[in-house]
């Protein structure tokens, strides 16, 4: 089997793709083996299962409740009330899921300013980590303004199969994650962030995966991101590591298949 990319973190149920989902997916299939698609709230779960039925063994579903929730009044920190109504859906589709995600911590000061909000995020995160362990699934993790706290909490909870997506914490924190066996993925937007180059340089290639975070974090800030932009992440990491893009694609794909064993099994079908 030729080694194609694996997009380890994208949002194929996002509203930005509602008008041309099929075209975006078909374009991505030219070079990508699998799209690991995450959710942010329970309203996306059934839509993602529908997409994975429509594109079997290509769109690989993850269910998760994100630490920041979008509402008609703007964004707010997650609460247990956002997670509890979805628990039956997690159970219903557990055999279909390749990971639990997008879950994690977001301590952005204007979104989660109080200790009560942060404690509630930790509860929601913990419950989903426990669910992942019970279902023997990896976790697809968000950590904004909370890199150190996220890695510490994951270790404290005994989580072993972890992808830290778009990680922007300190290199020392990342290396703590590397020691724990965690993986880190980077979207095309890293080409616009010199600070991230220092981080990528420190993390061994054997702990790196590729992602797009489509429709966000593309190579151009003002444009919608799509999975086919994954080549930008690959080429940028290759330039920092002094390797060929082909080598980075090969290793990151093998890393992804190791981290997400159900993706590997699905690709063999």
CATH number, domain of 204, equals 3.20.20.140
- 117-150 confidence digits (pLDDT tens): 999 999 999 999 999 999 999 999 999 999 999 9
- Count of domains for the chain: 1
Residue 66 in marked binding region: no
Cβ 32 vs Cβ 4: under 8 Å: yes
The answer on whether 95 is annotated among ligand-binding residues is no
d(CA 255, CA 250): 9
The reported pLDDT for the residue numbered 172 is 96
Domain of residue 94, residue span: 5-267
Q: 55-59, 78-82, 92-96, 265-269: lowest mean pLDDT where?
A: 265-269
Residue 142 known to bind ligand: yes
End-to-end CA distance of the chain: 12
Tokens (6 digits) for 187: 């979207």
User: Which residues of 45-171 form beta strands (DSSP E)?
Assistant: 59-63, 68-71, 74-77, 99-106, 139-144, 162-165
Q: Is 102 annotated as a binding residue?
A: yes
pLDDT digits (tens, 9 = 90+) for 189-213: 999 888 899 999 999 999 999 999 9
Of residues 116 and 72, more confidence is placed in: 116
């Amino acid at each position: 089997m030729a080694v194609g990319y694996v997009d380890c973190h994208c949002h194929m149920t996002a509203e930005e793709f509602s008008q041309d989902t099929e075209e975006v997916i078909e374009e991505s299939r030219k070079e990508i083996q699998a799209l690991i698609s995450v959710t942010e709230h329970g309203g996306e779960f059934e839509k993602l299962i529908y997409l994975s039925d429509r594109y079997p063994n290509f769109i690989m579903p993850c269910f998760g409740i994100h630490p920041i929730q979008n509402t008609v009044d703007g964004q707010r920190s997650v609460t247990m009330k956002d997670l509890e109504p979805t628990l039956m859906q997690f159970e219903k589709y557990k055999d279909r899921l390749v990971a639990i995600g997008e879950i994690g911590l977001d301590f952005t000061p204007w979104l989660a300013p109080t200790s009560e909000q942060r404690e509630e995020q930790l509860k929601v995160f913990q419950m989903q980590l426990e669910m992942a362990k019970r279902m023997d699934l990896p976790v697809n993790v968000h950590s904004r303004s909370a890199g150190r706290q996220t890695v510490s909490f994951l270790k404290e909870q005994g989580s072993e199969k972890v992808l830290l997506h778009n990680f922007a914490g300190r290199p020392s924190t990342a290396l703590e994650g590397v020691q724990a066996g965690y993986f880190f993925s980077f979207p095309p937007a890293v080409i616009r962030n010199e600070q991230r180059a220092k981080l990528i340089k420190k993390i061994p290639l054997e702990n790196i995966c590729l992602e797009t975070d489509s429709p966000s974090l593309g190579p151009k800030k003002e444009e919608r991101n799509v999975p086919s932009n994954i080549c930008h992440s690959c080429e940028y990491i290759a330039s920092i590591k002094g390797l060929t893009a082909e080598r980075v694609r090969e290793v990151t794909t093998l890393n992804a298949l190791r981290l997400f064993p159900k993706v590997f099994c699905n690709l063999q079908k």
